[in-house]
Amino acid sequence: MKWNSELYDDKHSFVAKYGEGIASFLNVQNGDNILDLGCGTGDLTAKIAQKGATVTGLDASPEMITQAQKKFPDIHFEVADASRLSDVQQYDAIFSNAVLHWTFEHLKIFENCYNALTDNGRFIAEFGAYHNIKRVSDAIEDAIHNLGYTYRPDYFPWNFRQDEDIKNDLLKVGFEDVTVESFDRPTPLEGEDGLVNWLVMFSDNLLKDFTDKEKQNVYQECSRLLRDDLYEAGQWTVDYRRVRIFAYK
């Protein structure tokens, strides 16, 4: 999907903010060579670099990389797909935040990460867990049906998997000392139009056959369906669930 990098920075800075939690587990050592896999617009990449690491930011979105390069010109960023990482053993750590639920190639990506790590390297990531945004994604489907539009389940862009399945894949490619843990993380959105902004940012793949007017209708119907559960005192809060993985080579 094509990303709106300015909207991402303006209304969805919480993605990087929450990512600081998982980034703290990197235990960065001065001189570490680290890959930020799916770096977005580079905020966490820059924070990791500030700790003394040499960091490469990689993202499949040219729009995100262009924005990252503007913000942090001293950091090396590349447009590249996580499923096509080099197998050269070069990174002491690979870090990823809020990315891996956007791909259905986990096994291949885990294998690539394993191969790209030096011996004793670490792979630390956080992304959407099983039943992440379940209320929101169900509401999108219900809104489409309520409005008489066609819902396309094959357009569903997210891969929210059970912890045990993720762990099995990590072990399968060779990682050791693997920990996979999921947890609820209700996430507040910014402003009265927070849910609509979220839908504009993240649901476009599900609605890619829709006209702009039809999309607006879906956004408003979703807001109506979710208001009783996810809105209180001027604040939208989305039902996020996250999974953290710690794996070592």
Q: What is the pLDDT of residues 137-192, one digit of tens each?
A: 999 999 999 999 999 999 999 999 999 999 999 999 999 999 999 999 999 998 89
Contact 170, 108 (CB under 8 A): no
Identify whether the C-beta of residue 18 lies closer than 8 Å to the C-beta of residue 44: no
Q: CA torsion angle for 50, 5, 90, 164 (degrees, to 10)?
A: 100
Q: Give pLDDT, residue 21.
A: 72
| Beta carbons of 189 and 197 less than 8 angstroms apart | yes
pLDDT given for residue 55 in this prediction: 95
- Cβ atoms of 142 and 134 within 8 Å: the answer is no
What is the reported pLDDT for 3? 44
pLDDT value for 12 = 43
Structure pTM?
0.89
User: Which phi and psi (to 5°) does residue 52 adopt?
Assistant: 105, 10
Q: Give the model's pLDDT for residue 9.
A: 46
CATH architecture type of domain 5-248:
3-Layer(aba) Sandwich (3.40)
Domain spans in the chain, listed from the N-terminal domain onward: 5-248
Which pLDDT score is estimated for 20? 65
- Residue holding tokens 């056959």? 209
Q: Which tens digits make up the pLDDT trace of 201-239?
A: 899 999 999 999 999 999 999 999 999 999 999 999 999
pLDDT at 1 over 70: no
d(CA 131, CA 134): 5
Share of the chain above pLDDT 70, in %: 91
Q: How far apart are the first and last CA of the chain?
A: 32
pLDDT at 144: 98
At residue 94, the pLDDT reads: 97
Q: What is the spatial distance between Cα 112 and Cα 231, in angstroms, rounded to a whole number?
A: 41
More confident residue, 46 or 14: 46
With a CB cutoff of 8 Å and minimum separation 6, the contacts of 70 are none
CA gap 241, 92 in Å, rounded: 28
Most trustworthy range by pLDDT among 16-20, 98-102, 219-223: 219-223
Q: Is 37 helix (H, G, I), strand (E, B) or coil?
A: strand
Region 101-109 average pLDDT: 94
